[in-house]
Amino acid sequence: MIPGIGALQFKPEVGGADAATGLIPGGAAPLAGEGIASSFADALSQTVGKTIGTLQNAEQMSIQALKGDADTREVVDAVMSAQQSLQTAVAIRDKIVSAYLEVSRMAI
């Protein structure tokens, strides 16, 4: 799942998009690529870390652009990748929330 997200951020990683289909609560999707997370929580915090990283980069580039000394294309690229990773993170968050609700509604 994590390399799949990485693949969406301009960097094609081992594992590609197929790994992204493995979002099963408690399921263990085969993880490949950098830093194999040992648990779901770790994988999640990796994602969040990456998202925050791209967001901060985009903010920095934008501030430089507003001050007048940044390459336009770089700024646009940075902002777009931030938008992509944020969108992904929000989608994951929504999925997790709805999965949790579904689990909590299961008859014991």
Partner 1 sequence: MEPVNLFGLAAKQAEWLAVRQSSIAGNIANANTPGYTATDVLPFEKVLDHTAVSLRATQSGHLGSGATEAGYAIRPQDYTGAIMPSKNTVVVENELLKAGEVRRSFELNTAIVKAFHSMMMSVAKG
- Interface residue list for partner 1 (CB under 8 A): 55, 58-59, 62-63, 65-68, 72, 75-76, 79, 82-83, 86-87, 90, 94
Question: CB-based contacts of 28: which residues, under 8 Å, 6+ apart?
Answer: none
Our CB check for partner 1 shows the closer of 31 and 58 to be 58
Our CB check for partner 1 shows the closer of 21 and 87 to be 87
Q: How far is the CB of 2 from partner 1 (least distance, A)?
A: 20
Interatomic CA distance for residues 83 and 30, integer angstroms: 27
Q: How far is the CB of 25 from partner 1 (least distance, A)?
A: 20
Amino acid at 98: S
Question: CB-based contacts of 61: which residues, under 8 Å, 6+ apart?
Answer: 70, 74, 75, 78, 79
Q: How far is the CB of 29 from partner 1 (least distance, A)?
A: 25
Interatomic CA distance for residues 63 and 55, integer angstroms: 12
Our CB check for partner 1 shows the closer of 36 and 100 to be 100
